[in-house]
Structure 1
Amino acid sequence: MPSCTLFVESRQDKTPLEIFVSGNQSRAEQQQAPGIIIAHPYGPLGGNMNNNVVIALEQYFRSKGYVIICMNFRGCGKSKGRTSWTAMAEREDYMSVVNYALDDSTLQEYPSINRLILCASIPGYSFGAMIANTIDCANVPCAYLLISIPLGVMWALATTKASYFKKPPHDKTLCIYGDKDQFTRSSRFRDWCHDAVCIPDADHFWMGFESLLLEQLEQWIHTLQ
């Protein structure tokens, strides 16, 4: 099944957002499949979908038969606009991609999504995890993959709206972090999510630890099925 790059308008202000869609089966081969939306770390510090964790997740979930959507927030990659000061516009960006993915009239070459993982790099990685955790998805069953959620620096990423993004984790959430994270202490992760999974020696960027991250995902995915 070929991958494709598309643009989706943000419901915030119609800003065009770049998404990359992939999967290993067509709708003719399989009517329905699980889906995942993967968002990336903070854009002004170099975050975009061309990231080691995002790429590792995309390849892993494609091998599991998921429909995968990787997105670039506003101001990142080929998405238009610029990063906001409060992260609320990026939340609208993410929700716009969720709505697009669940609209049965779009992505007709791919299986219809019947359950969804929000990973911000929803799954979510860093800044993307912060965004994904605030999304409530009522149309299909949802789970949340939060990788290195930046609890220690939300005050800088969301300024006046930081408290909004500190909501407790949902049910069916995997919160995973490295004990060498440069932005958040291990105790902050444990206090926020008592079931958080710690990977020894991994830091915020996961270089060289992608395989250990995927091992934890393998165990979690089985619980969702």
Structure 2
Amino acid sequence: MPEVIFAGPAGRLEGRFHPAKKRGAPIAIVLHPHPQFGGTMNNQIVYNLYYAFAERGFSVLRFNFRGVGRSQGHFDHGAGELSDAAAALDWAQTVSPDARACWIAGLSFGAWIGMQLLMRRPEIEGFISIAPPATLYDFSFLAPCPSSGLFVHGDKDRVAPLKEVQTLIEKLKTQKGILIEHAVVPDANHFFENCVDKLIEEVSTYLDRRLDNPVRTAIPARSSSAG
């Protein structure tokens, strides 16, 4: 799990990158929660998502948005962070030029940024959107949503109530040619306190189904690098 520093629109961005051993492996970018509320690439859910992709043979990048950790710049209310995410994908594609596909995953604020990136980058073929804050941010840009993916939500989420997210998802489900799935984790709040294992189980089940049960790869660094 090497540390990486790459160029972003507002200066250097700090990340962690797991390169796949297999040539042509897909890329995954994982985006963290709101920078002004403690969100970093070391968030427990971001950390577990990172390894869920790595164990399935992806080249995976998680990174700190501008102004977080050793990433340069200042919080930019989403516009700059979207540019950061685009730069992260550009960097990952440069490092893995033979990648056959790309996925995006994000938590809360990171889910909002990730879905915007999805709309701008046609090479993204799958997404994991966890606790998208549909009451705090406008998701109307998902018209239509260009790729199939999974939304995961907690039924005790007070930041982004389940009813509001379900309304968004029902609109997306009417589109032809893509499949939108929605998993609800019982007793989970917005950040899945005491429910992270259940969340990752839902994501893992979805990934295995979409990827046709890929061979799992042991990642030694996972046991020694707590998120």
TM-score, length of structure 2 as denominator length? 0.80
Count residues in correspondence. 197
> Which residue is 2:125 aligned to?
142
> Which residue is 1:130 aligned to?
112
Shift, 1:71, TM fit: 1.1
Which residue identity lines up with residue 167 of structure 1 in the other structure? Answer: F
Shift, 1:21, TM fit: 0.2
Structure 2 stretches of 5 or more lacking a match?
Answer: 171-180, 212-227
TM-aligned CA distance change 1:79 to 1:200, over 3 Å: same
Q: Secondary structure at the match of 1:130?
A: helix
Q: Residues 202 and 209 of structure 1 are in contact (CA less than 8 Å); yes or no, is this contact kept in structure 2?
A: yes
Distance 2:160 2:48 in 1: 23
> Which residue is 2:33 aligned to?
41
1:167 aligns with 2:150: no
> Which residue is 2:168 aligned to?
192
Q: Residues 125 and 147 of structure 2 are in contact (CA less than 8 Å); yes or no, is this contact kept in structure 1?
A: no
Shift, 1:223, TM fit: 3.9
1:179 aligns with 2:155: yes
> Which residue is 2:45 aligned to?
53
1:18 aligns with 2:9: no
Distance 2:61 2:54 in 1: 10
Which residue identity lines up with residue 221 of structure 1 in the other structure? Answer: L
1:217 aligns with 2:215: no
Distance 1:115 1:178 in 2: 29
> Which residue is 2:3 aligned to?
5
> Which residue is 1:68 aligned to?
60
Distance 1:167 1:131 in 2: 12
Shift, 1:113, TM fit: 2.3
Shift, 1:172, TM fit: 0.8
Distance 1:97 1:127 in 2: 16
Q: Residues 126 and 149 of structure 1 are in contact (CA less than 8 Å); yes or no, is this contact kept in structure 2?
A: yes
* C-alpha RMSD of the superposition: 1.8
Distance 1:141 1:94 in 2: 13
Shift, 1:141, TM fit: 4.8
Q: Residues 49 and 55 of structure 1 are in contact (CA less than 8 Å); yes or no, is this contact kept in structure 2?
A: yes
Distance 1:219 1:51 in 2: 21
Percent of aligned positions with the same letter in both sequences? 24
Q: Residues 144 and 170 of structure 1 are in contact (CA less than 8 Å); yes or no, is this contact kept in structure 2?
A: no
Distance 1:170 1:210 in 2: 28
Distance 1:221 1:84 in 2: 32
TM-score, length of structure 1 as denominator length? 0.81
